[in-house]
Chains A and B, each alone.
Chain A
Amino acid sequence: MAKILVATFPDTANLLTAVRKARREMFRVYDVFTPFPVHGLDEALGVRRTRLPWATLLCALTGLTTAIVLQGYTNVLDWPLNVGGKPDNSTLAFIPIAFEITVLGAGLATVGAFLVRCGLLPTTRARVADVAATDDRFALVLEWRRTRLDHGQIERLLRQHGAREVVRKVLEL
């Protein structure tokens, strides 16, 4: 349970300035909830670029290795079969499947890693700061902590920057 301050905005331009302003005033931005990805928020929030591509690379390599080992073991080592006089180790013929399994591994791993990293699972209960954040509102959530501004001042500041509503909530987010 955390004390939070939810400020909702009707548009992105005001949201971005408010986020920058709040961070300059030493508030900790817990998160921003938006109906679509807002560009410029990464920089405004100081979100680091995700490391998920490493999961892609790792699993792509795993897939590739699996495919080569599978085809090599079955068709070259375990039971070499003469098909139309082609060599047992017909490496070129093994490429399509190697490619497919690489892509399969990489794709599934990327999405899997993403879902796990973001905690998005069928059993996850959505922790919504503002219901309209999946519709047409942009909700800026600040962690409530002691700064040189008091509650009234920050509320006024947010409203100055276009916030429609500012609500203090105690929520588990």
Chain B
Amino acid sequence: MDKLPEDATEPRWTTGSPTLHQITVDIAAPMEGKPGRLWYACLAVAVAALMVLLGVATYLIATGIGIWGLNNSVGWAFDITNFVFWIGIGHAGTLISAILLLFRQRWRNSINRSAEAMTIFAVMCAGLFPLLHMGRPWNFFFILPYFPNQHGPLWVNFRSPLVWDVFAISTYFTISLVFWYLGLIPDLATMRDRAVGKIKKLVFGILSVGWNGSHRTWSRYEIVSMILAGLATPLVLSVHSIVSMDFATSLLPGWHTTIFPPYFVAGAIYSGFGMVMTLLILTRQSMNLQRYITMRHLDSMARVLLLTGSIVGFAYATEFFSAWYGHDLYERYHFINRATGPYRWGFYLMVLCNVLTPQLYWFKRVRNNVAILFITSILVNVGMWFERFVIIVVSLHRAFLPSGWGMFYPTIFDIGILVGVFGLFFTLFLLFIRFAPMIAAWEVKGVAVDQASSHTGAGHGAEGGHHG
């Protein structure tokens, strides 16, 4: 492939020109040194929230889901909202690790590892909700088809999107985990070869499965990464499409729309990038990694937020338009109720956070301000949580017959689980950035070498462009 002349001004994805050894040292630093105060403070808050989750979940399993604010009208509320929210968060990780790999976007290289970890933790959080909502989580295996079938002649109903969900999410989790681990292996080997203590050497030795950097292995490794990326790309699109079908295949106004799959996928990527932004800003500040997670990375993510946020805004408008244009009484009523009914505050909060906030990212000054980026990235996730709340609760509370109308008020246990799951997520993530190489050192090295050679004009120009 011929290089274009402007390649000389190709953006640099690391600040300064660290040597290869310097990259290893910098990335291993959080694992080898003691983390700063900010990290301990965050961990303390996260663990406290995790304790709340453990307490509430224990009480929930012991008592039953009656402790939630659910009723006959609103049978799905915070639990499913949280479920969709967390699954959505995961999507940005796969987008960064798989889709941007296929498009050879090199800015993914220093953020993909942590984004993938985020995906895995988010899917774990999401998976908790269907389990808790079962009321009897020890019977979870009833949702799987297995031989010999012990439910009389009955099998799980494969025509139900809820069963599709089971398969989609477990596949998504498995493939994400495998992809993430595969990427970790070379860096674990680096850690093994750097390790001083015996126990560290042994643990990293087992985890790095005997990796020695052989080129024959690398050559296969890159093909395998591309195949996995190719598989993960349609997979991630399918997962949120299937989640959206949990709603779209019903007949309820507000749920029964064909726009749902793309609308949900865009929203998922939007919320996921919001979370990646929050996490990376926390990480770079607490682990001193500004050199590798640069303002350019944050700028690129803000652009993705702008794009996906605008798609989400467009989808909201489309829903209202088709309700007006479609002349369906119930559909129309639903959307009037969404904007003027008792939960209108949720709707306006969602519009404020998801439609208006990302428009700030048109301005370069906003994209280059860490404080504003941090606050807006949190707003993105507040907005996306409320989007799911609006879709789920607002649709359910005024269904067809006025006699079936009702209201949902969360109990302290609903809120406890909502808060607690953030504790689980952040505890896992904080432990990850402390105990695992949270930047893909080998990928950053590849980019750094190409960057150096394209800037000095020396080196292997023709082969330079394609590091995974």
Q: Which residues from chain A sit less than 8 Å from chain B, CB to CB?
A: 11-13, 16, 31-42, 45, 47, 49-50, 52-53, 56, 70-71, 74-75, 78-79, 81, 83, 86, 90, 93-94, 96-97, 99-101, 103-104, 106-108, 110-111, 114-115, 117-129, 131-136, 139
Q: Which parts of B170-217 form the interface with A (CB within 8 Å)? A: 171, 174-175, 178-179, 182, 185-186, 189-190, 192-194, 205-217
Please provide the chain B residues from 151 to 167 with a CB less than 8 Å away from any CB of chain A in the complex. 153-161, 163-164, 167
Interface string of B118-157 (1 = CB under 8 A from A): 0000000000000000000000000001000100011111
Q: Determine whether the beta carbon of B209 is less than 8 Å from that of A100.
A: no
CB distance from A121 to the nearest CB of B (A): 6
Q: Whole-angstrom distance from the CB of B94 to the nearest CB of chain A?
A: 12
Chain A residues, Cβ within 8 Å of B153? 78-79
B145 near A74 with CB under 8 A, answer yes
Contact between chains at A37 and B164 (CB < 8 Å): no
Contact of B209 among A101, A107, A108, A124 (CB under 8 A): A124
Q: Which residue of B lies closest to A73 (CB)?
A: B155
B178 touches A107 (CB 8 A): yes
B460 contacts A90, C-beta separation under 8 Å: no
Query: What does the 1/0 interface line of B241-284 toward A look like (CB < 8 Å)?
Result: 01001000000000000000000000000000000000000000
Given contacts A31-B215, A111-B228, contact A134 B190 (CB under 8 A): yes
User: In the docked arrangement, what's the CA distance between A104 and B219, Å?
Assistant: 23
Bound together, the chains give a CA A104 to CA B164 distance in angstroms of 14
> Contacts of A120 on B, CB cut-off 8 Å?
185, 209-211, 217
A-side contacts of B75, CB under 8 Å = none
State how many angstroms separate the Cβ of B75 from the closest Cβ of chain A.
19
**Is B356 in the interface zone, CB < 8 Å from A?**
no
Which stretch in B292-300, B344-352, B438-446 binds the other chain? B438-446
Instruction: Give the A-binding residues of B (Cβ under 8 A).
Output: 19-21, 24, 145, 149, 153-161, 163-164, 167-168, 171, 174-175, 178-179, 182, 185-186, 189-190, 192-194, 205-224, 227-228, 231-232, 234-235, 238, 242, 245, 442-443, 445-446, 449, 453, 458-460, 462-464, 466-468
Closest to A53 in B: B227
A119 partner residues in chain B, CB cutoff 8 A: 210
Contact sample, A vs B, 10 pairs, CB 8 Å cutoff:
A13-B453, A36-B443, A37-B215, A39-B467, A40-B463, A107-B232, A110-B228, A134-B192, A134-B211, A135-B190
Is the pair B20, A135 in contact by a Cβ cutoff of 8 Å?
yes
The residue from B206, B222, B227, B442 contacting A56, defined by CB atoms under 8 A apart: B227
Q: How far is the CA of A136 from the CA of B130 in the complex (A)?
A: 47
Q: A16-B460, A100-B168, A136-B21 are in contact. Are A33 and B213 (CB under 8 A)?
A: yes
- Say what secondary structure dominates the interface of chain B: helix
Q: For residue B185, which residues in chain A have a CB less than 8 angstroms away from its CB?
A: 120
Q: Are A135 and B157 touching (Cβ within 8 A)?
A: no
When distances are taken between beta carbons in the complex, the residues of chain A under 8 Å from B186 are: 35-36, 134
B209 & A115 in contact (Cβ 8 Å cutoff): yes
Q: A96-B167, A97-B158, A135-B21 are in contact. List 11 more A-B contacts (CB 8 A).
A: A36-B186, A36-B218, A36-B446, A37-B467, A71-B158, A93-B159, A100-B164, A114-B224, A134-B192, A135-B24, A136-B24
Give the distance in Å from the alpha carbon of A25 to the alpha carbon of B219 in the complex. Answer: 24
In the complex the two chains form, what is the Cα distance from A114 to B157 in whole Å? Answer: 36
**Residues of chain B contacted by A99 (CB below 8 angstroms):** 234, 238
Cβ A49 vs Cβ B223 within 8 A? yes
A100 engages B467 (CB within 8 Å): no
In the complex, chain B residues whose CB is within 8 Å of the CB of A136: 19-21, 24, 445
Among the interface residues B163, B453, B459, B463, which one has the most CB atoms of the partner chain A within 10 A? B463
A11 vs B464: C-alpha distance when bound (angstroms): 13
